[in-house]
Chains A and B, each alone.
Chain A
Amino acid sequence: MKILVCVSNVPDTTTKIAFTNDNTEFNKQGVQFILNPYDEWYALVRALELKEAKGSGSVTLIHVGPAENDAVIRKGLAIGADDAVRIDAEPADAYFVAEQVAAYAKDKGFDLIMTGKETISYNSSMVGGMLAELLALPYISLATKLDLSGTTATAEQDVDGGTQVVECQLPAVISCQKGMAEARIPNMRGITQSRTKPIAVVPVSGASTLTSVAGYTPAEGRKAVKMIDPANMDELVQLLHNEAKVI
């Protein structure tokens, strides 16, 4: 059982976000980066559980990003991944990431490629489907459960207006969300071991840049809140109707 888990690094939701160069660049200075929660809590932990259940195999992390992101990869190694690959480039967009991961994975014989549902920074939810197409594999999106039996994967996934149970043959690509697994906290042994686990650095191969960020606009705060007398809910309803025009 060879599993590849795609991991991204994202600013922690609680960090302040700022831009430089006339709002054309994201300012990484002082930003706390974390392993994308969907990748860490669901994709990686479920990958480890599947390997443990089988009693053999490997879980490899792959990340497209510069050397400064190694800390986040080490966190994944501390949680239990066996080794990691870093494609040495600043990713331009989802297409760029998918192309690099596919180029690496295509001849390595992974049974399963797992991604998070989306990054919490850009919420694109695109890398998994792109990988599946690039590698001509089935794709199970937004999975909340995943089990393997032989070369068959059975998963539960969210679809518009409900859920469904699906099956496909391995190898396959699967994007993971809540339900898949419970988050694991790395223990001391894991942290110590992670320092010596290998991170292979691979150069970029034939990157396409199809989009680029032209600029950012910080969100405007809301106007000051209007407090309503709790004894006067008619007033709230009138404001929602006449002022806010939402009912």
Chain B
Amino acid sequence: MAVLVYTEAAKGKIRKTSLEAVNYASHIAQLLGTTVTAAIAAGTDAALLPELGKAGATKVLTLAGDKLASGNDAAWAMALEQAAAAENADVVIFSHDLSAKTIASRLAVRLKAGIVAGAVEYPTVNGTALHVRKNAFSGKATAVYAMHSAKKIITLLPNSFQVKLGEGTATVEAFNANVDAAPAGIVVKERKTRETTTVPLPEAELVVSGGRGLKAAENWGPLEELATVLGATTACSRPISDMGWRPHHEHVGQTGVAIRPNLYIAVGISGAIQHLAGVNGSKIIVVINNDKEAPFFKAADYGVIGDAFDILPRLTEAVKKFKASQH
């Protein structure tokens, strides 16, 4: 019996969310007295695979099969079902990203597995059940689910667990999946990859976010400068993306992306409950607002009352000075 983890590489690295998933799996494997097997697409650069061992996998299966390369989610679910059978795995772990929403949901049906989507803590073992915690009601509570089914799938909310790499090593085995029976699925006509050097929002540890307080699209310069010196990713409130001041993928909140970075700096954002719903999982929140009554201050760790256009350049300078002193 092993714990199986679905992993991916992108941009010449094992994805951080995959390393989080392997770490999490290795925690469960210890609770259950078993080992971790990571599944990854065949064709992934072999030089990257040792990273999975360092994260806690003892075996890596490189999954090959006709329809896998095109990202056919139904084929991937079939392949993982076969890998789970081969590894005798009752528990399968994913990151709660696109793979969870497409492949894990299908795999749950194939395995008749209970699924907890978006776990935020390590599980506990309770007889044959696993108890897993996730967020509920826009961050106003967490819910603990008891998973009763024989097979279990858990998907992890990105950035909920800090990646720890050790000295472990993993054996690598090729695994030929038989996915001929998978339906044709969807055909990708065109891919539009975002050309950014920064970390994508859901994975970002540092985020600088702007709201209507910045008044116009052309005023984002000082905010971007702060983000650049911090190495942070930029985000915005909903009206900002609605007005087309910033791209739609930067919109955080209840109807946008939910994030949980280590640091969220909110500039000129009032702190409406629907905005908080997407960011209140952040470890530390800094609010910069010229209205001392702005509701966001109640949800912040550090607050600065003042004009964004005055504060931002000075904060940027202070960060630069700090960074220089670190060398």
Q: Which 3 A-B pairs have the closest CB atoms?
A: A129-B105, A210-B114, A230-B306
Query: Within 8 Å of chain B (Cβ to Cβ): is A105?
Result: no
Contact B114 A211, beta carbon cutoff 8 Å: yes
CA distance A160 to B256 in the complex (A): 14
CA distance A196 to B258 in the complex (A): 39
Enumerate chain A residues within 8 angstroms of B200, measured Cβ to Cβ.
160-161
Q: With A210-B148, A211-B146 known to touch, is A228 a contact of B304 (CB < 8 Å)?
A: yes
CA distance A96 to B228 in the complex (A): 46
Contact A120 B254, beta carbon cutoff 8 Å: yes
Which residue in chain A gives the minimum CB-CB distance to B280? A219
Secondary structure of the A contact surface, majority rule = mixed
Enumerate chain A residues within 8 angstroms of B183, measured Cβ to Cβ.
136-138
Contact A133 B273, beta carbon cutoff 8 Å: no
Contact A226 B303, beta carbon cutoff 8 Å: yes
Which residue in chain B gives the minimum CB-CB distance to A16? B140
Query: Within 8 Å of chain A (Cβ to Cβ): is B13?
Result: no
Contact A233 B315, beta carbon cutoff 8 Å: yes
Interface residues of B (CB under 8 A from A): 10, 73-74, 77, 96-98, 100-106, 108-110, 112-118, 131, 133-149, 183-194, 200, 202, 205-206, 230, 248-249, 251, 254-256, 258, 262-263, 273-274, 277, 280, 283-287, 297-306, 310-311, 314-315, 317-319, 321-322
CA distance A213 to B141 in the complex (A): 13
Which residue in chain B gives the minimum CB-CB distance to A152? B187
Contact A168 B114, beta carbon cutoff 8 Å: no
Enumerate chain A residues within 8 angstroms of B306, measured Cβ to Cβ.
230
User: B82 CB to closest chain A CB, in angstroms?
Assistant: 15
Contact B147 A168, beta carbon cutoff 8 Å: no
Scan residues 1-47 of chain A and give those whose CB is less than 8 A from a CB of chain B.
Answer: 11, 13-14, 17, 19, 37-38
Contact A139 B98, beta carbon cutoff 8 Å: no
Contact of A139 among B73, B286, B302 (CB under 8 A): B73
CA distance A195 to B4 in the complex (A): 50
Which residue in chain B gives the minimum CB-CB distance to A217? B142
Contact of B193 among A141, A161, A209, A239 (CB under 8 A): A161
Enumerate chain A residues within 8 angstroms of B74, measured Cβ to Cβ.
132-133, 138-139
Query: Within 8 Å of chain B (Cβ to Cβ): is A109?
Result: no
CA distance A86 to B234 in the complex (A): 42
- 15 A/B residue pairs, CB under 8 Å, sorted by A: A17-B141, A94-B115, A94-B117, A120-B138, A130-B105, A130-B108, A138-B186, A139-B185, A160-B10, A161-B194, A166-B189, A214-B145, A226-B301, A239-B302, A240-B284
User: B239 CB to closest chain A CB, in angstroms?
Assistant: 13
Which residue in chain A gives the minimum CB-CB distance to B282? A246
Query: Within 8 Å of chain B (Cβ to Cβ): is A53?
Result: no
